[in-house]
Structure 1
Amino acid sequence: MSQLYTRADLVRARAQWRRDGKTVVFTNGCYDILHPGHIRLLEKARSLGDILILALNTDASVARLKGPTRPLISQDQRAQMALALEAVDAVTFFDEDTPRELIAEVLPDILIKGADWAHFIAGREEVEAAGGKVMALALEPGYSTTNIVEILLQRDASRCS
């Protein structure tokens, strides 16, 4: 059953999962508008281990990264949607611009990002130094929250003109 964790509770749960011999996979993102590309990446990530942690940017973090009009969906609502996904076992938030500190605390066995972030995967050094794997998974073509937002804005603008 999926669960929302505080950072401290997640670190404790991770320690228990390690004792239980579970392979823990970690990924992160804004997940502002959940789309099939997100779902498929999460399913691929979950297939690589026993537990999938999804760390979501807080609303403040999303606004710093994406601009003052984002997020469109609040962090609590984004967490609720993520928790409803079969692939996701644990959800937590991070307020920093990257999850490097959180990753260093959790030290997953496998760290996953989409291939669009292959050039910079926050936490790579920490995970590899602990003997873990870091992977960039191929993205589903045609899916992007930013593109979805742009399409919606264009449709709205054409309706208003």
Structure 2
Amino acid sequence: MRQKLRDAGRTMVMTNGCFDLLHVGHISYLEASRKLGDSLWVLINSDESVRALKGPTRPIESEAERAYCLAALNCVDHIVVFNNPRLIEEIKLLQPDIYTKAGDYTLDTLHAGEREAFEAVGTEIKFLPFLEGFSTTRMIEKIHRAASL
């Protein structure tokens, strides 16, 4: 699929994350990412990878549920579930034209190995505005507060 896009001269945008409990911040970010190219590929952390990053109580939704919800969005063209803590192999394989990350990241806070892999394949890295006040952690806190009332 990636090669077909390249052969057709179409632009592939890639982003990644856990995307546990899809919320307004995620959707706003994904829509903005999609506007930058012809096809948006979302790489999501596997359940095992999310647990390693966020702890034993996460993810709330399984990788299949998260992938299904993301795939239902008009702005998302392809979903890839990855198991490694870092995307270095996926970057080398897919060679995206553009990589997006939310504005709470900077070039300095990106994983150095991933940044080097993007640079090696000629990917343009873009940081998109971060929608303040929306996060999965905040949603979980709201649910806990509501449950204790």
TM-score w.r.t. length of structure 2? 0.92
| Aligned residue in 1 for 2:35 | 47
Q: Does the 8 Å contact 1:109/1:127 carry over to 2? A: no
Q: Distance in 2 between matches of 1:18 and 1:97?
A: 27
| 1:87 alignment partner in structure 2 | 75
Structure 1 gaps of 5+ residues are: 1-12
Q: CA deviation at 1:139?
A: 1.0
Residues 113 and 121 of structure 1 are in contact (CA less than 8 Å); yes or no, is this contact kept in structure 2? Answer: no
Amino acid at match of 1:126: A
* Contact 2:45–2:81 (8 Å) recurs in 1: yes
Partners in 1 of 2:122 and 2:87 — Cα distance? 19
Coordinate RMSD, CA, aligned: 1.3
Contact in 1 for aligned 2:42/2:76 (Cα 8 Å): yes
> Does 1:149 pair with 2:140?
yes
Q: Which residue of 2 is the match for residue 110 of structure 1?
A: 98
Cα-to-partner distance string for 1:28-74 (whole Å, 9 max, x where unaligned) = 00000100110010010000000100001001101111110110001
- 2:109 maps to 1:120: yes
Q: Is the 1:111–1:124 contact (alpha carbons within 8 Å) kept by the matching residues of 2? A: no
Cα drift, residue 120 of structure 1: 2.7
Return the letter of the residue paired with 1:36. Answer: V
CA contact (8 A) 2:50 2:58 kept: yes
Runs (4+) off by over 6 Å:
none
Q: TM-score by structure 1 length? A: 0.85
For residue 34 of structure 1, the aligned residue among 8, 18, 22 is: 22
